[in-house]
A = this chain, B = another copy of it.
């Protein structure tokens, strides 16, 4: 009998004795084991930690029946090949940045962030209630993948510079470790973008192979020790007003999940997201204080430099939308949402923040 034999199979293993004594019940569920490939090393308890939180919650919510083992970058799959591995079913799921797959299609970057883009809350609003999720699901579905937002860094810093950036001229010939579109944009002003792994930043800056490097924010940056070799710490990271990390799940693996597990997985990804943002927001302040105590010098990018980067970004958006219909479709929706959202935030949200910042600065 089908139902009975299925249940019997599900029961093989652990709690058999308990099951014999327990009253009959509904909802027997299969044991499922997934492997998750993270794009991050274990040392990043923020971004890598989000996958561990997800795994714990999924297990706890299913009585240990749905297990996700978390694997650091390089353990099963190189950091920048997580999408491919999930698509091919090498792993069941992965935790990664859409923008890493920019080379396949720049549209992937909308799942992470783009220059002068949405901030963290605006990104969550776009995804959950502004039409962003449908657009991102459509995009990933073409690659046999289902996405769930699962972490975010908040607004990033602009990185570490050996010399001051006082004008646009200072970007000319500057060798900077910077990922993605921002390198292309500053390339218009002569910056030479370099791709380097996190571990190579310190020695490259020390040797002078590069002049500047950006990574994330104080809490993550502190571990790289860059303030010792490039003390000027610039803000804002206009190319990463936030950076959303997604859980990517192989479509077939996802479809095979019972409805309960799908629901537990989705809620767990929201919890992991909340916890990750909270960690950054709660830990960055002390990290920044330690960095400044260690010699880091906080500096704002000069307004003319920001303005030039804004202009170059607008050109890049127009060029890219002009030659990629998929990008254009998402860009049009996203930029409308951005304008509406930023216009609203500047009324009460930013006014509240700015007033409080001014008051507390006075009191110190």
Contacts and interface: CB of A to CB of B under 8 A. Distances in A.
A29 interface: yes
Given A28-B25, A62-B260, A267-B57, A346 B352 contact: no
A10 B23 CA distance: 12
A256 interface: no
Interface string A266-303: 11101101110111111111101100000000101000
A2 to B, nearest CB: 5
Contact of A26 (B22, B286, B355, B357): B22
A360 B117 CA distance: 11
B353 A119 contact: yes
Contacts of A258: 63
Contacts of A112: none
B28 A26 contact: yes
A262 B271 CA distance: 14
Given A260-B63, A356-B241, A24 B26 contact: no
A273 to B, nearest CB: 7
Contacts of A15: 26-27
B124 A285 contact: no
A27 B26 contact: no
Contacts of A282: 125-126, 128-130, 337, 341
Interface stretch (A95-103, A152-160, A188-196): A152-160
By CB atoms of chain B within 10 A, which of A119, A278, A354 has the most? A278
Contacts of A275: 128-129, 270
Nearest to A313: B359
A29 B121 CA distance: 37
A328 interface: no
Interface string A308-326: 0010000000000000000
A23 B27 contact: no
Contacts of A11: 25-26
A14 B341 CA distance: 45
B236 A277 contact: no
Contacts of A339: 360, 363-364
Contacts of A28: 18-19, 22-27
A207 interface: no
A23 to B, nearest CB: 5
A235 B343 contact: no
Interface string A38-69: 00000000000000000001001111110000
Interface string A106-141: 000000000010011110111111100000000000
A49 B210 CA distance: 52
A152 to B, nearest CB: 10
Contact of A264 (B154, B267, B286, B340): B267
26 contacts: A3-B22, A7-B25, A8-B23, A14-B26, A18-B26, A20-B24, A24-B28, A25-B28, A27-B63, A29-B63, A60-B259, A119-B356, A124-B274, A129-B278, A157-B347, A235-B347, A237-B348, A264-B264, A267-B267, A270-B270, A288-B347, A310-B359, A338-B356, A339-B364, A342-B357, A343-B360
Given A11-B26, A19-B24, A342-B353, 18 more contacts: A3-B3, A3-B22, A18-B28, A19-B27, A19-B28, A21-B24, A29-B63, A61-B260, A124-B274, A125-B277, A126-B282, A154-B349, A155-B352, A241-B352, A285-B343, A339-B363, A346-B353, A346-B357
